[in-house]
């Protein structure tokens, strides 16, 4: 286990320790390759922490509190599904609830940029999502790689700069050519997290169920 933990306080002033703070992540950009895993159970979370996975991502379900307890020192981001929380007030309320139980960050998925800015007003850390965003796949002709043409690459760059300007510390980049991710990583202050987008990002992101081979649904391979 890592020994250089940082002392932190939750939003309700409960003390704890973390392997990284947001400042740490921004400071080590370009100096260390990071790992992030989506975990679905307390057992997966505990295994990720034991394996020194840098960051974990969780869903806001009944397991999230136990996931926090099982990986108490690992920087944890929790996803908020836009479809369930469609107003600014709903999103901030849910984000504050998750931060209160120990989330270090919120995953914004297919959120509107203005909603991300609203989180930033409350100083709630968050990461965005660019490239192939599955919930918006109909707008790009289905589930496919994004950014293979110059037009798409430029659009992707502007999308990521918008996310950066909204106050995000990181951005998940899905199914984008590796050379495009490499260049974007150089021109953003955020941590770039690749899922199916090559190894030239700041971090590699995977689902625990894919690593373990226990996914119940056959998704296209990244």
In the chain, domain spans: 6-211
State how far the Cα of 90 lies from the Cα of 77, in Å rounded to an integer.
18
Q: Which residue has the tokens 């139980």?
A: 101
On the question of pLDDT at 29 being above 90, the answer is yes
Give the model confidence (pLDDT) of 136-158 as tens digits. Answer: 899 999 999 999 999 999 999 99
Give the model confidence (pLDDT) of 50-86 as tens digits. Answer: 999 999 999 999 999 999 999 999 999 999 987 778 7
CB 159 within 8 A of CB 128: no
Give the model confidence (pLDDT) of 187-219 as tens digits. Answer: 999 999 999 999 999 999 998 888 887 776 665
Mean pLDDT to the nearest integer, 173-194: 98
Report the percent of the chain where pLDDT is more than 90. Answer: 76
State how far the Cα of 99 lies from the Cα of 120, in Å rounded to an integer.
13
Predicted structure pTM score: 0.92
Give the model confidence (pLDDT) of 156-169 as tens digits. Answer: 999 999 999 999 99
What pLDDT does 82 receive? 77
Statement: 6-211 belongs to CATH 3.60.15.10: no
On the question of pLDDT at 112 being above 90, the answer is no
> How many helices (H) does the chain have, and how many strands (E)?
8, 10
State how far the Cα of 208 lies from the Cα of 57, in Å rounded to an integer.
10
Q: Sign (positive/negative) of CA torsion 94, 15, 53, 178?
A: positive
Pick from 123, 118, 81, 115: which is nearest to 99 by CA? Answer: 123
Q: CA angle at residue 40 from 94 to 23, to 5 degrees?
A: 60
């Amino acid at each position: 286990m890592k020994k250089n933990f940082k002392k932190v306080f939750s939003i309700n002033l409960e003390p704890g320790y973390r392997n990284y703070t947001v400042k740490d992540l921004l400071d080590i950009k370009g100096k260390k390759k990071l790992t992030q895993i989506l975990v679905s159970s307390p057992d997966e979370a505990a295994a990720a922490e034991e394996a020194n996975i840098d960051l974990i991502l969780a869903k806001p379900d009944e397991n999230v509190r136990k996931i926090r307890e099982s990986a108490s020192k690992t920087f944890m981001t929790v996803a908020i599904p836009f479809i369930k929380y469609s107003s600014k007030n709903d999103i901030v309320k849910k984000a504050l609830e998750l931060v209160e139980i120990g989330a270090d960050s919120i995953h914004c998925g297919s959120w509107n940029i203005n909603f991300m800015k609203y989180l930033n007003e409350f100083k709630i850390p968050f990461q965005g999502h660019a490239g192939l965003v599955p919930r918006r796949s109909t707008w790009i002709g289905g589930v496919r790689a994004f950014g293979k043409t110059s037009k798409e690459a430029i659009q992707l760059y502007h999308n990521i700069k918008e996310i950066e300007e909204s106050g995000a510390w990181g951005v998940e980049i899905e199914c984008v050519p590796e050379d495009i991710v490499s260049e974007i990583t150089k021109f953003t202050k955020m941590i770039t997290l690749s899922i199916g987008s090559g190894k030239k990002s700041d971090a590699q992101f995977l689902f625990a169920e894919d690593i373990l081979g226990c996914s119940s649904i056959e998704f296209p391979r990244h």
